Copies of this chain bind each other. A is one copy, B any other.
Amino acid sequence: MESAKKIMLQCDYTEGAHPNIINKLIETNLLQTVGYGEDEICEEAKKFIKKHLKNENVDIHFLIGGTSSNQIIIASCLRPFEGVLTVESGHINCHETGAVEATGHKIISLTKELKLTPEMIEKFCTLQENDPNREHVVQGKMVYLSLPTEYGILYTKKELEDIYKVCKKYDLYLFIDGARLAFAFSCFEQTNLKFEDLPNLCDVMYIGGTKCGALFGEAVVIMHENIKKYFRYHIKQRGAMMAKGRLLGIQFYELFKDNLYFEIGKKTVELALYVKEELKKKGVKLFIDSYTNQQFIIITKEKYDEISKKFVLSLWDKNEEGIICRICTSWATTKETLDCFLSMF
């Protein structure tokens, strides 16, 4: 495979898992446990997460991946005629081959902007409540946002509070997709957001493992009582209940036993901000001012071709200024790799 010989910067899931996870896997391999996520490793992992969330009153379930988590969470919350509100570029709207629609639900795009605002939600709900033809329209019942967003942008604590307030006013669930959640806490001075704030800021969310140092897995955290009761039935029905559920437990056991999840997040973002600053110094244009592990640069076709001989970038889009590429740092990225990349500019 030619591409294997290039250095990959296109995404944050090109390597395996953090060594601690591999070690735990080896250590527990011959341990006998019950299946389907009801084992003692999963139990411990849940305790660790609850401790970090400073909240005992949440339900936690480990799922296999992001699409599956989005699909199951949404389908478990909505009545057949209800839909989920998001931005046009929302992951569920763009990159999941209709996984949500396959469960019968419409995704309602509120804006081409990259972030939701309380005003957008309020406007939608006001129209909905006053619509004389209300029964002819899909009813918005959930708001979906990702943190960081598809473009690596963050919401501040205040923004999330305001969004959640309007959700509660109109009886909408707020769901935070945290596929890259580890990278949302490195800019505390800007966001004022801590991990432990999240249970108070939404009804359901998931903590991403796959893109944050795990082999795979997402930890769904449920705050709202309505969503708790039957969640395991939904998991099973959508084909996402692992026989050896402890494998998922192992990932989060290690990530949350101490502070590994947050250390990975911190280190990974620092590397991304390093490359961002260096690129800016070299005059490379940024498509978006991202403070997370995804950086979007605008380069010429020639530059892109040149770099592509040594590195794999993610081709995102084009505009009049050139080609927009995404580069990602991950738990496994080294400064040496980035310096080698920077040397090409």
A residues neighboring B (CB under 8 Å): 1, 3-4, 7-8, 11, 13-17, 19, 22, 25-26, 28-36, 39-40, 43, 64-72, 75-76, 79-81, 83, 94-99, 101-107, 109, 132-133, 135-139, 210-211, 215-216, 230, 232-234, 236-244, 246-247, 312, 315, 332
Secondary structure class of chain A's binding surface, majority of residues: loop
**Chain B residues whose C-beta falls within 8 Å of the C-beta of A137 in the assembled complex:** 94-95, 97
Which of these, B32, B210, B239, contacts A15 with CB under 8 Å? B32
In the docked arrangement, what's the CA distance between A237 and B97, Å? 5
**Once the chains bind, are A32 and B8 in contact (CB under 8 Å)?**
yes
**Chain B residues whose C-beta falls within 8 Å of the C-beta of A28 in the assembled complex:** 16
Nearest-Cβ distance from residue A251 to partner chain B, whole angstroms: 11
**Once the chains bind, are A230 and B315 in contact (CB under 8 Å)?**
no
Further 19 A-B residue pairs, CB within 8 A, beyond A1-B43, A14-B33, A135-B241: A11-B35, A14-B32, A14-B35, A15-B30, A16-B30, A16-B31, A16-B247, A67-B241, A80-B98, A80-B237, A96-B239, A97-B137, A98-B237, A101-B104, A101-B105, A101-B138, A109-B109, A136-B236, A238-B239
This protein's copies in its complex: 4
In the docked arrangement, what's the CA distance between A210 and B139, Å? 26
**Once the chains bind, are A83 and B98 in contact (CB under 8 Å)?**
yes
**Chain B residues whose C-beta falls within 8 Å of the C-beta of A232 in the assembled complex:** 135
Which of these, B19, B32, B79, B216, contacts A242 with CB under 8 Å? B216
In the docked arrangement, what's the CA distance between A210 and B240, Å? 14
